[in-house]
């Protein structure tokens, strides 16, 4: 979609207590400006969605998926929760993953965390914040897994940033370990093997390939930093281990 559409208009955040009317006013202005630039935009958008990307991100209001990567409505399928967690008991996340891959045919799953994440901060400091405590236990497990090494190798002032990144890597691992991804990649790998053995055309289609990526976003500079990328041919265990080792090496050099 893209083109020369207006990504966002210059405006101030509505003052507290102003209600929801400013949002309706902003929506009218936004829709009018986009229609002025491209009169067919909303008509075309309403026909179907064909996103290439599934974004699994944090609910933090400062980390909007489309704006960060300069894409428009219809370009990114989005799932967000506190601390961008993926767990095998979360039917919401699993349903989004399955629908986006098998129905929308997304090609890239991007787990995106961000520095100064409130959920990760709570896990790091063992802070109680309410009902979300149960959810943040997933991040606390990441902290527990790496804590001894963090204390030994990373200066304390970088523990939060490091844990934000470690959490992304852990959630990428969780995506890979879902029954859905295991099934899809296994079937495709079997087809590779059988087609080669039987000397016949490979039935795997390029549009069915799925890559999984881990990114972290910097609130202070607006930049995305890739941490790792995996596909069905990757040595998953080695790639995950290498990403963790690279993180510790990088933070270990800081003082």
Torsion of CA 131, 132, 133, 136, to 10 degrees: 160
Of the candidates 114, 146, 159, 232, the residue annotated as catalytic is 114
Task: Report whether 114 belongs to an annotated binding site.
Answer: yes
Residues 6+ apart with CB under 8 A from 80: 55, 56, 57, 58, 59, 65
Task: Report whether 179 belongs to an annotated binding site.
Answer: no
Task: Report whether 213 belongs to an annotated binding site.
Answer: no
Give the rounded percent of residues in the chain with a pLDDT score beyond 90.
85
Q: Which letter does DSSP use for residue 158 in this model? A: G
Put the strands of the sheet holding 108-114 in their side by side order: 76-81, 53-58, 108-114, 211-217, 224-230
Is 117 a known active-site residue? yes
Q: Show me where the domains of the chain are located.
A: 1-47, 51-253
Is 60 a known active-site residue? yes
For residue range 110-156, list pLDDT tens digits in order.
999 999 999 999 999 999 999 999 999 999 999 999 999 999 999 99
For residue range 91-114, list pLDDT tens digits in order.
999 999 999 999 999 999 999 999
State the fold for domain 51-253: Beta-carbonic Anhydrase; Chain A (3.40.1050)
pLDDT for position 14: 84
Is 62 a known active-site residue? yes
Per the CB < 8 A criterion, the answer to whether 149 and 248 are in contact is: yes
For residue range 197-213, list pLDDT tens digits in order.
999 999 999 889 999 99
Is 114 a known active-site residue? yes
CA distance 103 to 93: 15
Of the candidates 75, 79, 117, 161, the residue annotated as catalytic is 117
Is the overall model pTM greater than 0.85, yes or no? yes
Task: Report whether 117 belongs to an annotated binding site.
Answer: yes
């Amino acid at each position: 979609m893209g083109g020369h559409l207006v990504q966002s208009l210059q405006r101030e955040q509505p003052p507290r207590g102003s209600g929801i009317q400013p949002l309706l006013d902003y929506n009218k202005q936004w829709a009018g400006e986009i229609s002025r630039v491209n009169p067919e935009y909303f008509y075309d958008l309403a026909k179907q969605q064909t996103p290439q990307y599934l974004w699994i991100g944090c609910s933090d209001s400062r980390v909007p998926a489309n704006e960060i990567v300069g894409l428009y409505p219809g370009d990114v399928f989005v799932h967000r929760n506190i601390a961008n967690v993926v767990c095998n008991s979360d039917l919401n996340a699993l349903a989004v993953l399955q629908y986006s891959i098998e129905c929308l045919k997304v090609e890239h799953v991007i787990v995106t965390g961000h520095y100064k994440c409130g959920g990760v901060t709570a896990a790091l400091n063992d802070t109680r914040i309410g009902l979300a405590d149960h959810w943040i236990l997933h991040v606390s497990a990441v902290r527990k897994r790496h804590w001894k090494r963090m204390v030994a190798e990373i200066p304390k002032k970088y523990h939060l940033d490091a844990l934000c990144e470690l959490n992304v890597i852990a959630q990428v691992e969780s995506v890979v370990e879902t029954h859905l991804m295991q099934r899809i990649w296994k079937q495709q790998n079997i087809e590779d093997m059988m087609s080669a053995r039987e000397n016949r055309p490979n039935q795997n289609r390029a549009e069915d390939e799925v890559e999984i990526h881990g990114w972290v976003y910097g609130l202070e500079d607006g930049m995305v930093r890739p941490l790792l990328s995996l596909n069905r041919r990757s040595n998953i265990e080695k790639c995950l281990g290498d990403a963790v080792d690279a993180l510790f090496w990088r933070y270990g050099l800081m003082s």
